[in-house]
Amino acid sequence: MSEDKKPEDNSSRRSVNDAMTLGISFAVAFIGFTFLGVWLDEKFQTNFLFTLAGVCLAFVFVIYEIWKICQKTLEDEKKENDNDKTD
């Protein structure tokens, strides 16, 4: 028996995949950049300068990841709309 793949199935899988990717990126960015900042603060004996910079870099990274996902989603929707018009 063959299963017909519905566009909704692919869309929902993609949404779940995007959400998981964003969540993992968010966690890795904040943990990684924060620990890097703490390590640099200890190494250079600063109070919290590098930790704060690490958190700011994590925010920038996460915003960039969100932007990439949005751009990819918009491109996919445009392709789907173009395909629907040609059918």
Tens-digit pLDDT profile for residues 19-75: 899 999 999 999 999 999 999 999 999 999 999 999 999 999 999 999 999 999 899
Q: CA–CA separation, 67 vs 61, rounded Å?
A: 10
Q: CA–CA separation, 53 vs 48, rounded Å?
A: 9
- Domain parsing of the chain, residue ranges: 13-86
Model confidence pLDDT, tens digit, residues 25-39: 999 999 999 999 999
Tokens for 66, please give them.
């969100």
Cβ-based burial of 19 (10 A; exposed 0-12, middle 13-18, buried ≥19): exposed
